[in-house]
Amino acid sequence: MNGPRKLFVKSFGCQMNVYDSRRMADTLAPEGYVETATAEGADLVILNTCHIREKAAEKVYSELGRVRRLKEAAAAEGRQLVVAVAGCMAQAEGEEIIRRATMVDLVFGPQSYHRLPELLARAKRNGTAVDTEFPADDKFNHLAAPDPIAIRARGVSAFVTVQEGCDKFCTFCVVPYTRGAEFSRPVAKILAEIEHLAEAGVREVTLIGQNVNAYHGEGPEGGPCSLARLLERVAQIDGIERLRYTTSHPRDMEDDLIAAHRDLPQLMPQLHLPVQSGSDRILAAMNRRHTRADYLDIVRRLRDARPDLALTSDFIVGFPGETESDFAATLSLVNEIGLSGAFSFKYSPRPGTPGADMDDQIDEATKSERLQRLQQVIERDQAAFYRSCLGRTFDVLFERPGRHNGQLTGRSPYLQPVQVDAPLRLIGGIATVIITEVGSNSLFGTLTQANAQYPSSESALLPAGA
Ligand code: 5AD
Ligand code: SF4
């Protein structure tokens, strides 16, 4: 084995890439790679890329420009900097990336991460290596688990991939092509991973997948297990106090999952449920397989199950053929739901998806104008939601030291960052906090009297190195 080498992994795009980046670092740790926080001085730089919109891909090429200069500077000092492009853009563009950015040594898709050591050796032998296969083999069986020190350094809240890929084929989306067919990990593997995280101090787990509520992994009795049943099992793990899952498709919001929002106290009252459009005509063209009425019915049932549920969503404006009246239906849907926040995007035609070949593409100016109008109503609703938090008492999970000395940053049940004057030993603990001030994206609060006098030190987890 070689001496310690420095690894810098940069994630673009979604939370699954953040999870994957960590698993790549875990897989390279036994090879002698130590993670660093900057690309400067690194021996291996991995860009874990996103291909969901054109902008995401452009960002990667401009980052590659910066990395090229680092590689040249390293060569001038007689050092070798190996540059790898991973993730969805690597899957979609393959060798094209090396043609466009000739300094790239290694290109590999999301199904090849466990083969990283072998790919690095191949790049060393041959100059470059490209691997964008979809092997039948389950990569999760081969990816190394993090050690407890790495887990602690990553904090008390962790993502765990339970499902990958998608079979829905929305006509705007590249995911079914870049991540492949829907695959659910077996329950036993997921539970073992979360037990390992909990033992190292993790208190909150977000189960992630591109279409997470389509989860149907092999259960303890051999048959498929639903996401609701999986959440129940995870909730029984000692130390796991909070659960979330993302991202869900309305079609897979089954009755047992809706009931879990009523029955599982660990499941936080917050759900991201993308709807994309409020127009039935556009939803059909998007191949969403649900209508506006279906979505509203799901929202009603969720709120019956959990009245304090906060909902967020995703929207696309300017999908091919979207008229002013289709767009008005999206605005009216936002008004009808009352969201606590949302992401909204201009439609970006992705090569190889059906939407890219549709007639009636919408011009850029119309897309921008609609996006602005949509964002105004979303911001209005988000501000109203934040204002409604003033004076409320929340359980806050403390994650790390705050902006100022003596402050901690935690998360409300609704995932909002909360700044609180609190002792360091509360990191990893949950305490009740009264919200005294609201900003546009964060809350400020004070510990309630009981917590201030009797801080729990048993559940405390100090940050690594403290
Ligand atoms: N153009 C714009 N937005 C897109 N999304 C997915 N594909 C596209 C595209 N081609 C958005 C959807 C999805 C979110 C992750 O990204 O709203 O829910
Ligand atoms: Fe893409 Fe989500 Fe539709 Fe799957 S369900 S194709 S991931 S937008």
pLDDT tens profile 348-380: 999 999 999 999 999 999 999 999 999 999 999
Strand order in the sheet with 157-161: 157-161, 204-208, 242-246
Nearest ligand atom owner, CA of 361:
1
- Ligand 1 nearest atom to the CA of residue 315, by list position: 17
pLDDT tens profile 424-457: 999 999 999 999 999 988 999 999 976 655 444 4
Q: How high is the pLDDT of residue 452? A: 57
CA 179/CA 167 separation, integer angstroms:
10
Query: Does residue 181 contact residue 167 with C-beta atoms inside 8 Å?
Result: yes
Higher-confidence position of 456 and 132: 132
Rounded to the nearest integer, the mean pLDDT of the chain is 92
pLDDT band at 144, cuts 50/70/90? confident
* Helix residue ranges, H only, 225-341: 227-235, 255-263, 280-285, 292-305, 324-337
Q: Is the CB of 211 under 6 A from ligand 2?
A: yes
User: Which structure tokens are listed for 70?
Assistant: 């680092």
Strand, helix or coil for residue 82? strand
Task: Indicate whether 462 pLDDT > 80.
Answer: no
Q: Is the CB of 16 under 6 A from ligand 1?
A: no
Strand, helix or coil for residue 212? helix
Q: How high is the pLDDT of residue 1? A: 46
Mean pLDDT of 57-77: 94
Q: What angle do CA 405, 408, 411 make, to 5 degrees?
A: 155
Distance (angstroms) between ligand 2 centre and the Cα of 196 equals 30
- Residue from 188, 183, 306, 185 nearest 237 by CA: 188
Computed over its alpha carbons, how large is the radius of gyration of the chain?
23
Q: Is the CB of 165 under 6 A from ligand 1?
A: no
- Residue from 87, 36, 34, 37 nearest 59 by CA: 87
Distance (angstroms) between ligand 1 centre and the Cα of 364 equals 16
Query: Does residue 339 contact residue 319 with C-beta atoms inside 8 Å?
Result: no
DSSP assignment of 335-360 equals HHH--SEEEEEE----TTSGGGG-S-
H or E element, residue 182:
none
- Residue from 387, 390, 436, 385 nearest 414 by CA: 385
Q: Is the CB of 266 under 6 A from ligand 2?
A: no
Q: How high is the pLDDT of residue 176? A: 94
Distance (angstroms) between ligand 1 centre and the Cα of 345 equals 7
Q: Is the CB of 350 under 6 A from ligand 1?
A: yes
* Helix residue ranges, H only, 103-178: 116-126, 148-154, 175-178
User: Which structure tokens are listed for 373?
Assistant: 């109008």
User: Which structure tokens are listed for 71?
Assistant: 């590689």
Give me the residue label for tokens 């390279």.
28
Distance (angstroms) between ligand 2 centre and the Cα of 249 equals 8
Q: How high is the pLDDT of residue 141? A: 78
Mean pLDDT of 165-185: 94
Rounding to the nearest 10 degrees, give the CA dihedral for residues 313, 318, 322, 327.
50
Query: Does residue 190 contact residue 161 with C-beta atoms inside 8 Å?
Result: no
Q: Is the CB of 173 under 6 A from ligand 1?
A: yes
Nearest ligand atom owner, CA of 13:
1
Give me the residue label for tokens 């809350």.
443
Beta strands in 179-274 (DSSP E): 183-184, 204-208, 242-246, 270-272
Nearest ligand atom owner, CA of 163:
2
Q: Is the CB of 419 under 6 A from ligand 2?
A: no
Q: Is the CB of 316 under 6 A from ligand 1?
A: yes
Q: What percent of the chain has pLDDT over 90?
A: 84
Q: Is the CB of 53 under 6 A from ligand 1?
A: yes
Query: Does residue 180 contact residue 165 with C-beta atoms inside 8 Å?
Result: yes
pLDDT tens profile 214-244: 999 999 889 999 999 999 999 999 999 999 9
CA 152/CA 463 separation, integer angstroms:
7
Amino acid at 11: S
Give me the residue label for tokens 């509203």.
296
Q: Is the CB of 170 under 6 A from ligand 2?
A: yes
